[in-house]
A and B are shown apart, each in its own frame.
Chain A
Amino acid sequence: MKSICLFFQVHQPFRHRRYRFFDIGNDHYYYDDYANETILRKVAEKSYLPTNKLLLKLIKKMKGQFKVAFSITGVALEQFELYAPEVIKSFQDLAQTGCVEFLSETYSHSLPSLKNKAIFEQQVKLHDQLIFELFGQQPQVFRNTEMIYSDEIGARVYQMGYKGILTEGARHILGWKSPNFLYVNALNPRMKVLMRNFKLSDDISFRFSNSNWSEYPLTAEKFTGWLNKLDPKEEVVNLFLSYESLGERQPRESGIFEFMEHWVHNVVNSDTLKFATPSHVLEELQPISAVSVLHPISWADEERDLTAWLGNEMQKEAFEKLYKLSSRMERCSDSELNKDWNYLQASDHFYYMSTKFFSDGEVHSYFNPFDSPYEAFINFMNVLSDFKIRLNAMVPHEEEDQELAALHKIIDEKDKKIKKMEAELQRLRKSKLQQKPAAKRR
Chain B
Amino acid sequence: MMKVLMFGWEFPPHISGGLGTACYGLTRGLAGLKDVEVLFVIPKAFGDEDQSTIRLIGANKIPVACKEIVFEGKEKKMDSLEVQSEIIPYVNEEEFWNLKSKRYAAKTQFVKTDEGMKIDFSGTYGPNLMEEIKNYALVAEIIAKENNFDLIHAHDWLAYPAGIAAKNISGKPLVIHVHATDFDRSGGNVNPTVYAVEREGMEAADKIISVSNFTRKAIIEKYGIPPQKITTVYNAVEPVSADQKPLFKKGVNEKVVTFLGRITMQKGPEYFIESAYLVLKKMDNVRFVMAGSGDKMNEMVSRVAQLGMAEKFHFTGFLKSGDVYHMLQMTDVFVMPSVSEPFGIVPLEAMQADVPVIISNQSGVSEILNHAIKIDFWDTYAMADSIFGLLNYPALAGFLKKSGKKEVGGLTWHHSAKQVLEVYQNLLNM
Interface residues of A (CB under 8 A from B): 18, 20-22, 24, 312-314, 316-318, 355, 358, 371-372, 374-375, 377-378, 381-382, 385
Contact status of A22 and B281, CB under 8 A, knowing A372-B373, A374-B386, A375-B373: yes
Please pick, from B278, B281, B370, B393, the residue contacting A378 in the complex, using a CB distance under 8 A: B393
Please pick, from B370, B374, B385, B394, the residue contacting A20 in the complex, using a CB distance under 8 A: B385
Could you mark each residue 252-284 of chain B with 1 if its beta carbon is under 8 Å from any beta carbon of chain A, else 0? 000000000000000000000000001001100
Q: Which residues of B contact A314 (CB under 8 A)?
A: 393, 395-396, 399
13 A-B residue pairings within 8 Å (CB atoms): A20-B385, A22-B278, A22-B281, A22-B384, A24-B282, A313-B395, A313-B398, A318-B395, A355-B399, A375-B386, A377-B395, A377-B396, A378-B393
Asked whether B400 is an interface residue with its Cβ less than 8 Å from the other chain, the reply is yes
**Residues of B379-412 contacting chain A, CB below 8 A:** 381-382, 384-386, 388-389, 392-396, 398-400, 402-403
Q: Is the CB of A382 within 8 A of B396?
A: no
Q: State how many angstroms separate the Cβ of A356 from the closest Cβ of chain B.
A: 11
A21–B385 Cα distance when bound, in Å, is 6
Please pick, from B282, B392, B396, B398, the residue contacting A374 in the complex, using a CB distance under 8 A: B396
**Residues of B195-228 contacting chain A, CB below 8 A:** none
A18–B278 Cα distance when bound, in Å, is 16
Q: Which residues of A contact B389 (CB under 8 A)?
A: 21, 374, 377-378, 381-382
Q: Is the CB of B388 within 8 A of A21?
A: yes
Q: Which residues of B contact A374 (CB under 8 A)?
A: 373, 386, 389, 396, 400
Please pick, from B281, B381, B394, B395, the residue contacting A316 in the complex, using a CB distance under 8 A: B395
Please pick, from B282, B371, B395, the residue contacting A21 in the complex, using a CB distance under 8 A: B282
Q: State how many angstroms separate the Cβ of B381 from the closest Cβ of chain A.
A: 6
Nearest B residue to A320 by beta-carbon distance? B395
Q: Is the CB of A22 within 8 A of B282?
A: yes
A21–B400 Cα distance when bound, in Å, is 20
A203–B394 Cα distance when bound, in Å, is 42
A20–B389 Cα distance when bound, in Å, is 9
5 more contacts with CB within 8 A, not counting A20-B381, A21-B282, A355-B403, are A21-B384, A378-B386, A378-B389, A378-B393, A381-B392
Q: Which residues of A contact B402 (CB under 8 A)?
A: 313
Number of contacting residues on B, CB 8 A?
24
A86–B286 Cα distance when bound, in Å, is 52
A372–B373 Cα distance when bound, in Å, is 8
Q: Of B370, B382, B389, B400, which is in contact with the most chain A CB atoms at under 10 Å from its CB?
A: B389
Nearest A residue to B356 by beta-carbon distance? A374
Q: Which residues of A contact B371 (CB under 8 A)?
A: 355
Q: Which residues of B contact A385 (CB under 8 A)?
A: 392
Q: Name the 5 nearest CB pairs between A and B, nearest first.
A: A317-B395, A378-B389, A21-B388, A313-B399, A358-B370
Q: Is the CB of B398 within 8 A of A20?
A: no
A377–B400 Cα distance when bound, in Å, is 12
Nearest B residue to A312 by beta-carbon distance? B399
Q: Which residues of B contact A18 (CB under 8 A)?
A: 382
Q: Is the CB of A372 within 8 A of B374?
A: yes
A372–B399 Cα distance when bound, in Å, is 14
**Residues of B299-334 contacting chain A, CB below 8 A:** none
Q: Which residues of B contact A318 (CB under 8 A)?
A: 395
Q: State how many angstroms separate the Cβ of B16 from the closest Cβ of chain A.
A: 33
A371–B399 Cα distance when bound, in Å, is 17
A381–B391 Cα distance when bound, in Å, is 12
Q: Of A313, A318, A355, A381, which is in contact with the most chain B CB atoms at under 10 Å from its CB?
A: A313
Q: Of B374, B381, B396, which is in contact with the most chain A CB atoms at under 10 Å from its CB?
A: B396
Q: Is the CB of B385 within 8 A of A382?
A: yes
A318–B278 Cα distance when bound, in Å, is 24
Q: State how many angstroms separate the Cβ of A125 from the closest Cβ of chain B.
A: 31
Q: State how many angstroms separate the Cβ of A146 from the closest Cβ of chain B.
A: 22
Could you mark each residue 358-374 of chain B with 1 if its beta carbon is under 8 Å from any beta carbon of chain A, else 0? 00000000000011011
Q: State how many angstroms separate the Cβ of A384 from the closest Cβ of chain B.
A: 9
Q: State how many angstroms separate the Cβ of B129 from the closest Cβ of chain A.
A: 41
Contact status of A371 and B374, CB under 8 A, knowing A21-B282, A313-B399, A318-B395: yes
Q: Is the CB of A377 within 8 A of B393?
A: yes
**Residues of B155-198 contacting chain A, CB below 8 A:** none
Nearest A residue to B395 by beta-carbon distance? A317
A376–B72 Cα distance when bound, in Å, is 63
Q: Which residues of A contact B392 (CB under 8 A)?
A: 21, 381, 385
Q: Which residues of A contact B382 (CB under 8 A)?
A: 18, 20
A374–B390 Cα distance when bound, in Å, is 9
A24–B279 Cα distance when bound, in Å, is 12
Q: Of A317, A355, A374, A385, which is in contact with the most chain B CB atoms at under 10 Å from its CB?
A: A374
A191–B90 Cα distance when bound, in Å, is 72
Q: State how many angstroms separate the Cβ of B57 from the closest Cβ of chain A.
A: 44
A317–B371 Cα distance when bound, in Å, is 18
A313–B394 Cα distance when bound, in Å, is 10
Q: Which residues of B contact A377 (CB under 8 A)?
A: 389, 393, 395-396
Could you mark each residue 331-346 of chain B with 1 if its beta carbon is under 8 Å from any beta carbon of chain A, else 0? 0000000000000000
Q: Which residues of B contact A316 (CB under 8 A)?
A: 395
Q: Which residues of A contact B385 (CB under 8 A)?
A: 20-21, 378, 382
A222–B327 Cα distance when bound, in Å, is 66
Q: Which residues of A contact B399 (CB under 8 A)?
A: 312-314, 355
Q: Is the CB of B393 within 8 A of A317?
A: yes
Q: State how many angstroms separate the Cβ of B411 from the closest Cβ of chain A.
A: 15
A20–B381 Cα distance when bound, in Å, is 8
Q: State how many angstroms separate the Cβ of A24 from the closest Cβ of chain B.
A: 8
Nearest A residue to B385 by beta-carbon distance? A20
A24–B393 Cα distance when bound, in Å, is 14
Contact status of A378 and B396, CB under 8 A, knowing A20-B384, A21-B388, A22-B278: yes
Q: State how many angstroms separate the Cβ of A264 from the closest Cβ of chain B.
A: 44
Could you mark each residue 128-140 of chain B with 1 if its beta carbon is under 8 Å from any beta carbon of chain A, else 0? 0000000000000
Q: Which residues of B contact A20 (CB under 8 A)?
A: 381-382, 384-385
Q: Which residues of A contact B394 (CB under 8 A)?
A: 317
A426–B396 Cα distance when bound, in Å, is 61
Q: State how many angstroms separate the Cβ of B336 from the closest Cβ of chain A.
A: 15
Q: Of B281, B382, B395, B402, which is in contact with the most chain A CB atoms at under 10 Å from its CB?
A: B395
Q: State how many angstroms separate the Cβ of A172 from the closest Cβ of chain B.
A: 26
Q: Which residues of B contact A24 (CB under 8 A)?
A: 282
Q: Which residues of A contact B373 (CB under 8 A)?
A: 372, 374-375
A326–B351 Cα distance when bound, in Å, is 37
A120–B393 Cα distance when bound, in Å, is 26
A374–B402 Cα distance when bound, in Å, is 14
A24–B373 Cα distance when bound, in Å, is 21
Q: Which residues of B contact A317 (CB under 8 A)?
A: 393-396
Nearest B residue to A20 by beta-carbon distance? B385
A375–B370 Cα distance when bound, in Å, is 12
